[in-house]
Copies of this chain bind each other. A is one copy, B any other.
Amino acid sequence: MIAAELASGLSGQLLKLEQQILRSHQSIEHWLRGHWLEHETPFYASVDLRNSGFKLAPVDTNLFPGGFNNLKPEFLPLCVQAAMAAVQKLCPDAKGALLIPENHTRNQYYLQNVAQIQSILRMAGMKVRVGTLIPEITAPTTLDLPGGAKLTLEPLVRRGNRIGLQDFDPCVVVLNNDLSAGAPAILENLEQQVIPPLFAGWSTRRKSRHFAAYSRIASEFARLIDIDPWVIDPYFGVCGEINFQERTGEECLAGWVDAVLTKVRAKYKEYGIDRDPFVIVKADAGTYGMGIMTAKDPSDVRDLNRKQRNKMAVVKEGLSVTDALVQEGVYTFETVKDAVAEPVIYMIDQFVVGGFYRVHTGRGQDENLNAPGMQFEPMPFDTSCLLPDPDANPDCGVNRMYAYGVVARLALAAASIELEEMAAEQEAQAEQLRKLA
């Protein structure tokens, strides 16, 4: 396979991690099966990993994955089979599904992703039509996609507590919209099942909750395979009093930057890693790589100019940032033809269905690669993440992909706990409202 090169010269720890993962393969799968007996699997997810040679960790878990078009076509049957398993589990009685995507009609890549999800669900045996939240689309509108495919967006029609299209009353709603602007009224209080649930959107979801759940999962996993949890788990802190434009909360932020850097510095020292620690400051809610910066010193977040503050102040859909996550930065030492590469793993149900490298020429090893204006090249993984080979080198293609699939599934497990916690909170809130009424 065309694997990315690990160019760190510091791969001792990672090799140990890959060895331990490979050696503990059966315990890991057994442990994951146990997890999925207790917790409902998210319908789908993608996880951005960073691989520094001494650390392999998730840095972002997307519950509304937007790059199915980037997977290798050869692995389409794997997606269809996993989707069949997901449907059998979540909504076996459903025949029709309404897919609701993001409103980016000008992003051809994203539209190809939507068409691909539609196609996967169709091949899995569902009748799937695409409903749009874009108010300007008042009649079915067919868009031509590169390669000759077509995608028809139709206006949503609400009838009582059901959502559908003009002549389509679906059993289930599949969201591919992260609801950054909040859950729209037209989707509230539906009697149909919504997958993932509305509260998984960014108006309620928090990265800090995800990574707190991930830390617990990572600790348990680290005990299972006898590794230092830090090798798979980035330190983080969260600061909830930020207003970038009014410059309030700067001290809190600087304090967390300092605290996280100090912890990372100690770990780098422990492992003899001769690199500058850094942190990534990002909005606790939100996506699309807006509102993200790198800091190597607390002063980096104190002395922001107006432009930097404006950039940090809002994320997608104009959502303003009040809570910031300060996350240990993980160097990317994987490169493809000298360009920095970040693996992205795709999952449907409990299964890893594929992945790709986000390859970026204009960015450094310590920068976020999912940023506006980035020119990334998706490079699909050549091999699946399902074929570990105990007799081969732990760092060979199939085994590295297997390790990626394992760490991504830990993030998926964390997401399942995160969603459960949120469901319980929603339930408690509803209960309180009922009591007040």
Contacts and interface: CB of A to CB of B under 8 A. Distances in A.
Contacts of A78: 77-78, 81
Interface string A21-63: 0000111111011101100000000000000000000000000
Interface stretch (A83-91, A137-145, A191-199, A324-332): A83-91
Contacts of A28: 125
Interface string A371-393: 00000000000001011101000
A304 B274 CA distance: 86
Contacts of A36: 88, 92
B351 A388 contact: no
B85 A85 contact: yes
A132 interface: no
Nearest to A125: B29
Q: From A77, A80, A124, A127, name the one whose CB has the most chain B CB atoms within 10 angstroms.
A: A77
Contacts of A75: 77
Contact of A386 (B32, B34, B81, B387): B81
Interface string A111-130: 00000000000111111000
Given A27-B95, A33-B87, A95-B30, A123 B388 contact: yes
A390 B128 CA distance: 13
A74 interface: yes
A74 to B, nearest CB: 7
B34 A88 contact: no
Interface residues of A, number: 41
A316 to B, nearest CB: 33
A88 B26 contact: no
A394 B382 CA distance: 31
Given A34-B92, A34-B93, A351-B84, A29 B388 contact: no
Give the interface SS of chain A, mostly helix, strand, loop or mixed.
helix
B387 A29 contact: no
Contacts of A351: 81, 84-85
Contacts of A77: 75, 78, 384, 386-387
Contacts of A153: none
A30 B171 CA distance: 12
A122 B26 CA distance: 8
A76 interface: yes
A28 B28 CA distance: 36
Interface in A365-413: 384, 386-388, 390
Contacts of A85: 85, 351
Contacts of A82: 81
Contacts of A88: 33, 36-37, 350
Contacts of A32: 125
A80 B32 CA distance: 15
Contacts of A87: 33
6 contacts: A29-B84, A30-B95, A33-B125, A84-B351, A122-B390, A123-B387
Given A33-B92, A34-B93, A81-B82, 13 more contacts: A27-B95, A28-B125, A29-B84, A30-B94, A30-B95, A33-B93, A77-B387, A80-B384, A81-B386, A84-B351, A122-B390, A123-B386, A123-B388
